[in-house]
């Protein structure tokens, strides 16, 4: 019970900070939109081709927007020495991780919705027919991505050049998630029978569960002085 | 006939490891020298 | 350890083993019938590949012991084996293309063995970069231990994903698994084994050297502090 309250408190705090400053979400969305927009001029895909490129493009945009958001989520804690405060609080470090992770997941979900909407407009592509399976696969892949992103952002916050350190640490570990995300959403958008790509969703779900639990257990060491 | 690819492959691997072993030996020697100096400086006390 | 097996002896044994492995690679093992001389790259390539994965696992092992016992030399071992493992991994990525070019006609392909090795290389890079960029040096060991634990779990997922992606297999199958179709002459197996043992010795020697450097570094830091505090008083 106590742990749940801490998680809720951290989550609420991050949302409130975001509501007052609107820094993280704005930068994630704008950056993601720029990636999608530039991609259009780089490749000018049309028709069939955009179906082939769209899942990969969306995941590149998600990945970079995510790195931006995760970096912010711990950079702001560092600037005001709030991380030290958290370290001193007599609470389970894992609960802090889960709270931050859920807040990041929330921001990612909004930013992803914005990017998907923009992509569907600019590429004249309708996500509606495949929305259910596309959302399901994207949810699990995003969960896995956020799970590793949050703990690596906390680690990278302790380094010089943390903006570079985060992707260097996170991207190699997140590779299975990228591949699963691209494969599953390609299958969903093509309208394949869900059985064909369900294994990718399972992989993403397994990855998410394992990395959430592992990070929950390891976060104590990240905060430790 | 000696194969160029083969020579390059083994040559590079040996060069890389020799280079690494050399730098680590140098690090060690430098630290050891510094340790000696520090010991000497602290010795009388 | 130091008295029972001095470093100079360790070095001598390692060098001897490396020379012996050269004999086995170039003179003892028979020439492969279709690929010719180039095939001899195989021995160093396979051994370095196994060493690289073993080294990453040992980095995790050292980190795990460090998290558990807070033993500084466990962390030195983890760092050392990451450094040496990174070099082995680099050697795999160098020797692989040098063999692939004459045999397949291409330098690189995203195949089910090449791809995870490349991911492993990236994991090594992340680990080593983190270690040199942490601001408070006292925390580097802890953070790196967390990173290597996450990384070792990720390696398992890498293999799972790559298998599912079902790349067409360019890479010769069953190199370590044996099997009927591997078609290796028994003498080639002997050469593989000898090279691997030589690589293990080389690895242990270099990691040991690294651990000594780390121990010396700590000693120097301690004495420096002592000097500064006594001169300041």
Please state at what angle helix A48-79 crosses helix A131-156, rounded to 10 degrees.
30
At C182 the pLDDT is 54
Question: If we measure between CA atoms, which residue out of A56, A54, A65, A190 comes closest to residue A133?
Answer: A190
Task: Judge whether residue A91 has pLDDT over 90.
Answer: no
Q: What is the rounded average pLDDT of the residues A22-40?
A: 90
CA-CA distance, C206 to C118, in Å (whole number)? 23
| Nearest residue on chain B to C47, alpha-carbon basis | B13
At C180 the pLDDT is 45
User: What are the pLDDT tens digits along chain C (233 aa)?
Assistant: 455 678 888 899 999 999 999 888 888 888 776 777 788 888 889 999 999 999 999 999 999 999 999 999 999 999 999 999 999 999 999 998 888 888 888 888 887 778 889 999 999 999 999 999 998 888 899 999 999 999 999 999 988 888 887 655 556 654 444 444 456 778 888 888 999 999 999 999 999 999 999 999 999 998 888 888 877 65
CB contact under 8 A, A169 and C126: yes
ipTM of the complex: 0.90
- Total CB pairs under 8 A between chain A and C: 85
Question: Which of A171, A179, A221 has the CB atom closest to C146's CB atom?
Answer: A221
At A197 the pLDDT is 87
Query: What pLDDT, in 10s, does the model give residues C35-56?
Result: 777 888 888 899 999 999 999 9
Give backbone dihedrals phi and psi of A159, rounded to 5 degrees, phi first. Answer: -120, 160
Q: Which chains pack against B, by 3+ Cβ pairs within 8 A? A: C
Tokens of C174: 């069953």
Query: What pLDDT, in 10s, does the model give residues B1-45?
Result: 568 888 898 999 999 999 999 999 999 999 999 999 988 888 765
Q: Domain segments of chain B: what residues? A: 1-45
A215 to chain C: which residues are within 8 Å by CB?
A: 150
Report helix, strand or coil for A159: strand
Q: Which chains pack against A, by 3+ Cβ pairs within 8 A? A: C
Question: If we measure between CA atoms, which residue out of C80, C49, C47, C51 comes closest to residue C63?
Answer: C80
Q: Domain segments of chain A: what residues? A: 2-223
At A47 the pLDDT is 72
Min Cα distance C164 → chain B (Å) is 32
Min Cα distance C48 → chain A (Å) is 21
B20 to chain C: which residues are within 8 Å by CB?
A: 84, 87, 206
The answer to whether residue A56 neighbours chain C at the CB level (below 8 Å) is no
The answer to whether residue B42 neighbours chain C at the CB level (below 8 Å) is yes
Query: What pLDDT, in 10s, does the model give residues A149-196?
Result: 999 999 999 898 888 999 999 999 999 999 999 999 998 988 888 888
Position A103 confidence tier, pLDDT thresholds 50, 70, 90: very high
Q: Higher model confidence: residue C177 or residue A32?
A: A32
For residue C93, what are the contacts with CB-CB under 8 A and spacing of at least 6? C117, C118, C121
Q: Higher model confidence: residue A22 or residue A115?
A: A115
In degrees, rounded to 5, the angle at the alpha carbon of residue A72 between the alpha carbons of residues A140 and A206 is 20
Q: What is the rounded average pLDDT of the residues A101-127?
A: 92
At A122 the pLDDT is 86
Q: What is the rounded average pLDDT of the residues A199-223?
A: 94
For residue A115, what are the contacts with CB-CB under 8 A and spacing of at least 6? A29, A32, A33, A36, A58, A61, A62, A65
The answer to whether residue A126 neighbours chain C at the CB level (below 8 Å) is no
Cα A189 to chain center, whole Å? 20
> Which residues between 13 and 32 in chain B have a beta carbon less than 8 angstroms from any beta carbon of chain C?
13, 16-17, 20-21, 24-25, 27-28, 31-32
CB contact under 8 A, A172 and C119: yes
A218 to chain C: which residues are within 8 Å by CB?
A: 146, 149-150
Q: Which residues of A93-108 are buried (b: 16+ CB within 10 A; e: fewer)?
A: bbbbbbbbbbbbbbbb
- Inspect the structure and tell me whether chains A and B have 3 or more CB pairs less than 8 Å apart: no
At C84 the pLDDT is 96
For residue C143, what are the contacts with CB-CB under 8 A and spacing of at least 6? A155, A158, A221, A222, C130, C134
């Amino acid at each position: 019970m106590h742990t749940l309250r801490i998680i809720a408190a951290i989550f609420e705090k991050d949302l409130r900070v975001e509501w007052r400053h609107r820094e993280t979400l704005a930068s994630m969305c704008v950056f993601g939109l720029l990636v999608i927009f530039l991609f259009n001029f780089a490749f000018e895909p049309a028709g069939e081709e955009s179906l082939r490129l769209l899942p990969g493009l969306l995941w590149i945009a998600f990945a970079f927007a995510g790195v931006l958001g995760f970096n912010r989520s711990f950079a702001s804690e560092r600037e005001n020495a709030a991380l030290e405060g958290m370290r001193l609080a007599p609470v389970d470090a894992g609960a802090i991780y889960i709270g931050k992770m859920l807040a990041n997941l929330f921001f990612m979900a909004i930013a992803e919705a914005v990017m998907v909407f923009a992509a569907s407009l600019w590429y004249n592509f309708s996500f509606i027919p495949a929305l259910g399976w596309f959302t399901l696969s994207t949810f699990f892949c995003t969960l896995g991505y956020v799970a590793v992103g949050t703990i690596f952002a906390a680690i990278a916050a302790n380094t010089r050049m943390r903006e570079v350190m985060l992707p260097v640490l996170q991207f190699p570990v997140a590779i299975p998630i990228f591949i699963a995300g691209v494969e599953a959403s390609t299958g969903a958008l093509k309208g394949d029978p869900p059985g064909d790509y369900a294994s990718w969703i399972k992989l993403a779900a397994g990855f998410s569960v394992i990395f959430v639990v592992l990070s929950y257990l390891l976060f104590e060491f990240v905060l430790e002085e | 006939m000696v194969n160029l690819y083969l020579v390059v492959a083994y040559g590079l691997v040996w060069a890389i490891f020799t280079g690494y072993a050399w730098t680590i030996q140098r690090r060690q020697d430098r630290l050891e020298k510094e340790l000696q100096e520090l010991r000497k400086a602290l010795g009388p006390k | 350890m130091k008295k029972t097996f001095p470093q100079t002896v360790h070095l001598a044994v390692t060098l001897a083993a490396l020379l012996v492995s050269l004999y086995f690679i170039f003179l003892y093992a028979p020439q492969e019938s279709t690929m010719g001389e180039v095939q001899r790259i195989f021995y160093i390539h396979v051994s370095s590949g196994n060493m690289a994965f073993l080294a990453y696992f040992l980095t995790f092992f050292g980190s795990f012991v460090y998290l558990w016992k807070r033993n500084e030399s466990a962390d030195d071992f983890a760092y050392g084996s990451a450094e040496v493992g990174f070099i082995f991994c680099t050697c795999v990525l160098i020797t692989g293309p040098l063999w692939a070019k004459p045999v397949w006609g291409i330098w690189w392909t995203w195949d089910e063995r090449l791809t995870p090795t490349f991911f492993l290389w990236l994991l090594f890079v992340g680990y080593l970069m983190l270690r040199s960029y942490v601001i408070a040096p006292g925390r580097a060991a802890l953070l790196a231990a967390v990173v290597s634990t996450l990384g070792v779990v990720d390696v398992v997922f890498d293999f799972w994903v790559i298998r599912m992606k079902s790349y067409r297999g360019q890479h010769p199958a069953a190199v370590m698994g044996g099997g009927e179709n591997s078609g290796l002459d028994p003498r080639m197996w002997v050469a593989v084994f000898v090279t691997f043992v030589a690589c293990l010795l080389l690895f242990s020697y270099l990691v040991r050297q690294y651990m000594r450097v780390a121990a010396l570094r700590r000693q120097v830091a301690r004495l420096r502090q002592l000097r500064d505090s006594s001169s300041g008083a």
